[in-house]
Amino acid sequence: MNKLDTSKTFLIVGLGLLGGCYAMALKRQGYTVYAVTKEQADIDYALEAGLIDGGSTAVEQELLDKADILVFALYPHTFVEWIRQYGDRIKDGSLLTDVTGVKGCLVYEIQAMLKPGVEFIAAHPMAGREVSGVRNSDDAIFRDANYIVVPTENNTFGAIELCKELGKVLGFARVSVLNPEKHDEMIAFLSQLTHCIAVSLMCANDNPGLVFYTGDSFRDLTRIANINDEMWSELFLSNREALLREMEKYRNTFDHLVQCVKNNDREEMRSMMRISTERRAAFNRKYND
């Protein structure tokens, strides 16, 4: 497979929020898109909304034979289970990719399970919403967002290039490449640690009156405190070592700030605030937020 021309047919496996966003973006670009998912109601909705050309709650051989590119939008353990069960039925020459939030624990295992002639190139679209389900899909979340291609040494150059092209076709603002270990380290800090912080903050205070006194800073910081416990506990434990390292680094920095307040060390406190402001500015310039 050389190029992502619109003769290609996609099969989305798992039609939740992200699967739906992929379908929406791909249909918009003129591709043929099918879906396999658990609930018939989600297939019905996606057909009616024009997100897919067809779909099924069963893994039909006909769909697997049509698909050139399969996009897996499943929980990590469900993804592995799916490949174990249906991997041998995937058409020769197909390319597999995914949206999973952890990589090291998953990518090598999946690649080892696949038959020759079928390649898995991992990817992580850094976009989401605080609501779930295909009914909340909106590919506008890809605009201004980052897309990370996560190859291993087993991946072919062609698959890596095609996956980068997919990120652009989907409408992402920037496409990057990281190996699984670097990806997991980055994600432990940028995504998992931030969710740990938001959850801890909400659990640290049970005063029901807070809502009458809050400002925007608290609302922004805790937006992600509305969290899918099934998915995120799996993501945390799938990336346990890297997450623990980032939690430790952050906690040491927070402790340093506690000491500054304890010691009335205004100069050191201001120095931390200046570092913080300067580093945050890089995020502003590129993304206008």
Considering only residues 257 to 286 of the shown chain, the ones binding a second copy according to CB under 8 A are 257-258, 261-262, 264, 266, 269-270, 272-277, 279-284, 286
Nearer to a second copy, 48 or 278 (CB): 278
- Residue 40 binds a second copy (CB under 8 A): no
Q: Which is nearer to a second copy, 2 or 213 (CB)?
A: 213
CB of 116 to a second copy, least distance (A): 32
Q: Which residues ranging from 101 to 140 are in contact with a second copy (CB under 8 A)?
A: 126-128
Contacts 24+ apart (CB under 8 A), 255-258: none
Strands, E, within 186-255: which ranges?
none
* Closest CB 237 distance from a second copy, rounded Å: 6
CB-based contact 192:243 (threshold 8 Å): yes
Could you tell me the smallest distance in angstroms from the CB atom of residue 18 to a second copy? Answer: 12
Q: What is the DSSP track for 55-80? A: EESS--HHHHHH-SEEEE-S-HHHHH
Question: Does 170 interact with a second copy (rule: CB under 8 A)?
Answer: no
CB-nearer residue toward a second copy: 54 or 128: 128
φ/ψ bin of 144: left (φ > 0), alpha (ψ from -120 to 50), beta (otherwise): left
Shortest approach of a second copy to residue 8 CB, angstroms? 27
145 binds a second copy (CB under 8 A): yes
Query: Which residues within the stretch 176-235 sit at the binding site for a second copy (CB under 8 A)?
Result: 176, 178, 183, 186-187, 189-191, 193-230, 232-234
CB 13 within 8 Å of CB 72: yes
For residues 45 and 20, the answer to whether their CB atoms sit within 8 Å is no
For a second copy, the binding residues in 42-101 under the rule CB under 8 A are none
117: left (phi over 0), alpha (psi -120 to 50) or beta: left
Residue from 146, 152, 154, 179 touching a second copy (CB under 8 A): that is: 146
For the CB of residue 130, give the shortest distance to a second copy in the complex, in Å: 9
Residue closest to 52 by CA, chosen among 25, 78, 87, 74: 25
CB atoms within 10 A of CB 23: 29
- Residue 203 in tokens: 């659990």
Considering only residues 236 to 255 of the shown chain, the ones binding a second copy according to CB under 8 A are 236-237, 240, 243-244, 246-255
Which is closer to a second copy, CB of 58 or CB of 203? 203
Amino acid at 238: S
